[in-house]
Every structure is written in structure tokens, then in C-alpha cells.
């Protein structure tokens, strides 16, 4: 399905900051492709299909725009899908492969989300949003911050991201407890954490941080029951994936003051609706899914996106998802 005569058409979706062309050298595609960058986001699947009908290649930024089987079936011209990173739950890879499209990905760096977690932790501990708002309004010193030294950090998932968070928590003088479905006491100890069961983690922790990948076993892993076990003085942080958490249960806990606050970077629907309740809750620190949005990440994402397209045009091996392409 790879075009050979005329220049191909490439759609780069959801470039919110208008930086895709700046963070990579697209010149290797000059004369071989027409690159169209879209800065807006389309939520309606049919509108996405209508936009993409005349494109041979689509480049997607993480899971901002889904490509379902129903959508792909209306895009017979689509020959190559490039996703940033090597996994994307929003793309029906099997459906794409069945209709002859190639699906490939890029590498990723892994420091961004753990760093953002600590922005949330510190902002909540020192009531940053309220302090800034009142300071700009002419007030001086609103609340009293809580100490990290001696507090307990509960990490749900102690893998690549969670282990980074644990190391920083220890540097702050915090006690670290951890739980996940596959975690062992030995693995926890290797990262300076104490293994506890799920209920104990929520009861003991002053800060609960989710560091899990989304999958069938982890979807909804944190619900009303887990949140009800938390201390009224405790904070909850989710920068991983929104479906890990029962969002209505979290909103209810925050509204009722059953937990002190939350830091949220990921949402069921993105971009977040203007009237979403999380925008108006005073005990919430929210960011617009910034975990992976760093310069190093974008350079790698867009740089390897170009590499994938060039390799595909040249018939060379590329970073395929779903099957291994031969040279």
C-alpha cells in the first residue's frame, strides 16, 4: 500500500503547542511528502474520519485521538499509523493490520511523569494554588503547609515510574509503602519501600500516588472503598491514567472533605470540559495531562516519527507494533 509515484500526504494530529515541526527535522521528507499539522483537537469520531480521508499517513500524539475499528474502516487510504511511544490503547492495531496498514511507534523517555508527580505533591502540601490566588488578591499567608519529612508516601505500582518516585520520597525523609497486584516484599525492599496490602496502603498513607499502567486488571482499581479508607488529612495524586480511578467517587470524596485534596493530570475526557467539576473544586491541583510533555520527550517522539516514515518509504525495517516488518 506504500505510495511510490506522487508525494504522500501526512497528517500530524493534536499538536496543541504547535511545535511538531520545531522539535524534529522533517527535511528528509521534502519532495516525498506533504506534511499537514493540526493544532486543534476533534472529539467527534466522524469529524476525525472526514479530516483524515485524503491522508496516507497519520501521526498521533499518545492517546489524544482514538482510531477505532469503525473509524479505520472508513479510511482505506490510510497506509501508515505512527504513534508516539510503543503502545497506544486508543488505536485498534488489529483492525489496522487487517486492512493492510502498518502501525509503528517511537521510543520514549521516562522522567517526565515522576517529576510532575512531585510538582503535585509539593503543590498540595503547601496549598500552592490557594496561596498564589490570595497573594495576587493582596492577601499574605493563607494556610499552614504539611511536612513531607516523616510523612508516609503510598505508591500504587512500584515499577519504572514508581521506583523513581520512591527514591525522591526517601530523599525527603518520607516513609514509603507500596502495593500492586504483582509486587513482592523483596521487590519493594529493593526500592526502599515496605510492602503492604492494598487496604493498609490507603489507611496509612499521607500521600497516595498511582504509578500503574492501564489494563484489564487495573481499570477501576481505585474506587469508593479505597478512597473511604484514606485519612481526612491525606492527598491523592493520579498522573497515570484516568480509568484507574472511579472519577465520580473521587469527586464525591473531595466535595465532602473526606480527603484533604487531590492532584490530577489525567481525565476521562480530554481536553477537560469547561464545566467539569474538577475545575471548580478548591482542594484540587489540576494540570492538563503534562506528564509526558517535556522537551526531551517531544524531540524523541517527533524525531523518531520522521525516522519511521522515512524507513517505511524506503522499505527498511521500522518499529512496528503488532508484527515485525522484514527488510
Give the per-residue pLDDT at 113: 97
270 catalytically annotated: yes
139 catalytically annotated: no
The mean pLDDT of 110-131, rounded to a whole number, is: 97
309 pLDDT higher than 50: yes
- Please pick, among 64, 120, 164, 289, the residue that the annotation labels catalytic: 289
- Please pick, among 126, 175, 194, 270, the residue that the annotation labels catalytic: 270
Rounded Cα distance, 52 and 134, in Å: 46
The mean pLDDT of 53-58, rounded to a whole number, is: 98
Question: For residues 297 and 61, is the Cβ–Cβ distance under 8 A?
Answer: no
| Predicted confidence band of residue 123 (pLDDT cuts 50, 70, 90) | very high
Domain-by-domain residue ranges, the chain? 8-109+294-314, 112-286
Which DSSP string do the residues of 193-232 spell out, in sequence order? -EE--HHHHHHH-SEEEE----STTTTT-B-HHHHHTS-T
Give the per-residue pLDDT at 320: 83
Give the per-residue pLDDT at 327: 27
- Please pick, among 64, 241, 247, 307, the residue that the annotation labels catalytic: 241
* 112-286 has the same fold as 8-109+294-314: yes
Indicate the CATH number of 8-109+294-314 among 3.40.50.2300, 3.40.50.300, 3.40.50.720, 2.60.120.260. 3.40.50.720
152 pLDDT higher than 60: yes
State the pTM of this model: 0.92
325 pLDDT higher than 90: no
295 pLDDT higher than 90: yes
Site of grid cell 498513607: 205
238 pLDDT higher than 80: yes
Give the per-residue pLDDT at 323: 45
Indicate the CATH number of 112-286 among 3.40.50.300, 3.30.465.10, 3.40.50.720, 1.10.3720.10. 3.40.50.720
Q: What is the mean pLDDT of the chain?
A: 95
Give the per-residue pLDDT at 322: 65
Q: Residue 88 — left, alpha, or beta (φ > 0 → left; ψ -120 to 50 → alpha)? A: beta
| Predicted confidence band of residue 324 (pLDDT cuts 50, 70, 90) | very low
Amino acid at each position: 500500500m506504500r505510495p511510490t509515484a506522487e508525494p504522500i500526504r501526512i497528517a500530524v494530529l493534536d499538536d496543541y503547542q504547535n511545535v511538531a515541526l520545531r522539535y524534529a527535522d522533517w527535511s528528509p521528507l521534502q519532495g516525498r511528502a506533504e506534511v499537514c499539522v493540526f493544532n486543534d483537537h476533534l472529539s467527534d469520531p466522524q469529524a476525525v474520519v472526514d479530516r483524515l480521508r485524503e491522508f496516507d499517513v497519520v501521526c498521533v500524539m499518545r492517546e489524544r485521538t482514538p482510531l477505532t475499528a469503525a473509524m479505520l474502516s472508513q479510511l482505506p487510504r490510510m497506509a501508515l499509523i505512527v504513534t508516539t511511544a510503543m503502545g497506544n490503547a486508543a488505536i485498534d492495531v488489529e483492525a489496522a493490520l487487517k486492512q493492510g496498514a502498518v502501525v509503528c511507534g517511537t521510543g520514549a523517555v521516562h522522567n517526565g511523569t515522576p517529576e510532575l508527580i512531585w510538582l503535585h505533591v509539593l503543590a498540595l502540601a503547601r496549598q500552592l494554588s490557594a496561596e498564589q490566588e490570595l497573594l495576587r488578591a493582596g492577601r499574605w499567608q493563607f494556610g499552614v503547609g504539611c511536612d513531607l519529612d516523616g510523612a508516609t508516601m503510598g505508591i500504587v505500582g512500584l515499577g519504572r515510574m514508581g521506583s523513581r518516585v520512591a527514591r525522591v520520597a526517601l530523599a525527603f525523609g518520607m516513609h514509603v509503602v507500596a502495593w500492586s497486584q504483582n509486587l513482592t516484599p523483596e521487590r519493594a525492599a529493593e526500592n526502599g519501600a515496605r510492602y503492604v496490602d492494598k487496604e493498609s496502603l490507603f489507611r496509612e498513607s499521607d500521600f497516595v500516588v498511582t504509578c500503574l499502567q492501564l489494563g484489564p486488571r487495573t481499570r477501576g482499581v481505585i474506587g469508593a472503598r479505597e478512597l473511604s479508607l484514606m485519612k481526612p488529612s491525606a492527598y491523592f495524586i493520579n498522573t497515570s491514567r484516568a480509568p484507574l480511578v472511579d472519577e465520580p467517587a473521587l469527586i464525591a470524596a473531595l466535595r465532602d472533605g473526606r480527603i484533604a485534596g487531590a492532584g490530577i493530570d489525567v481525565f476521562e475526557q480530554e481536553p477537560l470540559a469547561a464545566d467539569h467539576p474538577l475545575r471548580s473544586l478548591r482542594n484540587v491541583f489540576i494540570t492538563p495531562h503534562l506528564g509526558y510533555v517535556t522537551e526531551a520527550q517531544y524531540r524523541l517522539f517527533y524525531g523518531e516519527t520522521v525516522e519511521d516514515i522515512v524507513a517505511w518509504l524506503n522499505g527498511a525495517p521500522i518499529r512496528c507494533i503488532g508484527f515485525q516488518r522484514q527488510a
